[in-house]
Amino acid sequence: MTVASPYADEVRRVRALGIETGDIARATGAAMATVTSWIRSERRPSAGYRDRLMDLVAIVDRLATTMDEAYVPLWLNKPIPALGDERPLIAIRKGRYRDVSRLVAELENSSFA
C-alpha cells in the first residue's frame, strides 16, 4: 500500500543531489530495500531510522549551500580527520550528528570568510 509521506519527498530530494540509496541506508542503518520502500512511499521510517534520516537530510541541506552540490556525496563518504578519520555517513549512523554538524559549521563559516 502506498501512503503519502513527506519522508519519501526528503529521500528523493537527497537522492537528487547525488546521494545514493546505499549511502542513505549506510547513514540510517536501514537495509537498502527499506530505504527503497521509503522512496516509493510504501513505508515510513520507524523512529530510529527517522532520526538518522533527518540528521542526514539536515547535513545534506547545509552542505549543498556550502560546497558544490556534486561534491556533497564525496564529502559524506570521505574519511575526515576531524571525525577521527571516520566517514560522515558512518558518524551519522552512530548518532554523532552534532560532531558532523560542528564540522559543517566550520565549513559554513570559512565559506563566508
Q: Flag whether the pTM goes above 0.85.
A: yes
Per-residue pLDDT of the chain (113 residues; tens, 9 = 90+): 555 689 999 999 999 999 999 999 999 999 999 999 999 999 999 998 999 999 999 999 999 999 999 999 999 999 999 999 999 999 999 999 999 999 999 999 986 54
Sorted by sequence, the CB contacts under 8 Å of residue 60 that are 6+ apart come out as: 14, 17, 19, 72, 76
- 72 in Cβ contact with 60 (< 8 Å): yes
Helix axes 21-28, 32-39, angle to 10 degrees: 110
C-alpha 15/C-alpha 73 separation (Å) is: 10
